[in-house]
Amino acid sequence: MLPQYLLELFIFAIGASIGSFLNVCIYRLPRSLSIISPPSACPVCDNPIRPYDNIPILSYILLAGRCRRCGLPISPRYPMVELVSGLCAIAVCARFGYTLQALVLFIFISALIVVIFIDIDHQIIPDVISLPGIVLCFLASVFVFNRPVAEPAAGILVGGGSLLLVAVTYRLLTGRDGMGGGDIKLLAMIGALCGWEGVLFTIFLSSLAGTLVGILLMVAQGRNLRLALPYGPFLSLSAIVYIFLGPDIIHWYFNILNRIS
């Protein structure tokens, strides 16, 4: 049996390695490129990255954040995604143990990490993530988490239906599109795994966070600035918060209400 710190280091290394693959997905999916081939290359000079220069986090540090061939800077986002992925792997195992459920949740979080950065860069959420994600999350809810079929089904309907209603209403009132179809499908995917309670939690927290960030940006850059913030990152981050803290926060909230009443 490995000592706990070595086990956590091993889990972190696996998570960071998966984070390296997530970087590939973040770069290639919006460009409709294969995530399998060709091998990773410098985005500036297109020189293939050698295996010893592709060690998560460590290679970036040893290369001082620059390509070995052209010497131009490599975005710090690459090691950041690897670091976040590694930490998420440790957090999931610490919270849910070394179980199949923990593995499913880590895969789910990994998909959300990809969504966050693609939506920030391109204001899109690829269907190749959300549509298969709805089906896979539904199956995971039923067969891995042993939930009744009605629970993930309700999550899909509440998640996709609520944002669809918002999108249609906004369109009727303003004549403009205010909610992308990608957000609707993403929340349906979240609902498939987190259920309708997770959807409501995600909508509340993401709306609150999006409003606060929007106000701060408007204050910083001018009151007349018209912002078009991507909503996918707020939905994804809120869903991650729900996975780790959501049920406890909901339980705490209703306890307060009971005491007040």
| Structural domain boundaries enclosing 30 | 1-98
Give yes or no for residue 85 having a pLDDT over 70.
Answer: yes
In a shared domain, residues 50 and 132: no
State the Cα–Cα distance between residues 188 and 229, nearest whole angstrom.
20
In a shared domain, residues 182 and 255: yes
In a shared domain, residues 126 and 92: no
Give yes or no for residue 226 having a pLDDT over 80.
Answer: no
| Domain presence at residue 194 | yes
| Domain presence at residue 110 | no
In a shared domain, residues 91 and 147: no
In a shared domain, residues 240 and 131: yes
CB neighbourhood size of 253 (10 A):
11
In a shared domain, residues 65 and 131: no
Domain boundary among 50, 83, 98: 98
State the Cα–Cα distance between residues 197 and 242, nearest whole angstrom.
9
Residue-by-residue DSSP string for 131-177? HHHHHHHHHHHHHTS---THHHHHHHHHHHHHHHHHHHHHHHHHSS-
Measured over the CA atoms of residue 142, residue 145, residue 147 and residue 153, the dihedral's sign is negative
State the Cα–Cα distance between residues 107 and 39, nearest whole angstrom.
22
What's residue 98's pLDDT?
Answer: 94
Rounded to an integer, the average pLDDT of 162-182 is 74
For the stretch 93-133, pLDDT in tens is 999 999 999 999 999 999 999 999 999 999 999 999 999 99
| Domain presence at residue 105 | no
| Domain presence at residue 59 | yes
| Domain presence at residue 250 | yes
Q: How many domains does the chain have?
A: 2
State the Cα–Cα distance between residues 139 and 253, nearest whole angstrom.
30
In a shared domain, residues 59 and 127: no
The answer to whether 39 and 46 have CB atoms below 8 angstroms apart is no
- Report the b/e string of 143-160 with b at 16+ CB within 10 A: ebbebeeebbbbbbebbb
Give yes or no for residue 225 having a pLDDT over 60.
Answer: no
For the stretch 131-162, pLDDT in tens is 999 999 999 999 999 999 999 999 999 998 88
Strand partners, 48: 41
For the stretch 61-76, pLDDT in tens is 998 999 888 888 989 9
Q: How many CA atoms lie within 13 A of 37 on its CB side?
A: 0
What's residue 171's pLDDT?
Answer: 73
- Which pLDDT band, with edges at 50, 70 and 90, does 45 fall under? confident
pTM of the entire structure? Answer: 0.92
What's residue 258's pLDDT?
Answer: 80
